[in-house]
Amino acid sequence: MDMDILNRLHTMHVVTSKDAAVKLIDTTKTKKVVLNRLLYDISVAPSAAEVSRIMWQVYMSGSGYGTIGSTWKKHYADA
């Protein structure tokens, strides 16, 4: 994941941040059901800050820093 873009998502215009976030997702490693849910959540995010929050959660989870049984993981496991 491009850390420069990830660090700037919250400062971008909301539409620009959504486009950048979608490009950051590794579609080869992400399950189809989870990918669809991520794309939906990003598309309905009301602000660039929310898009940034979603993508930081993706980064942390993908890096092994996710919390077992967290609400966030449950949200995507139930997708």
Number of domains into which the chain is organized? 1
Residuewise pLDDT in 10s, the chain (79 residues): 899 999 999 999 999 999 999 999 988 888 888 899 999 999 999 999 999 999 998 888 877 776 777 776 777 776 6
Amino acid found at 15: V
* Structural domain that includes position 59: 3-77
With 0-12 / 13-18 / 19 or more C-beta atoms within 10 angstroms meaning exposed / middle / buried, residue 59 is middle
Give the pLDDT score at 53.
94
Amino acid found at 14: V
Kindly give, in sequence order, each residue whose CB lies less than 8 Å from that of residue 76, ignoring residues fewer than 6 positions away. Answer: 34, 37, 38
**Cα gap 32→26, rounded to integer Å:** 11
Give the pLDDT score at 79.
60
Q: Quote the tokens at residue 41.
A: 């959540």
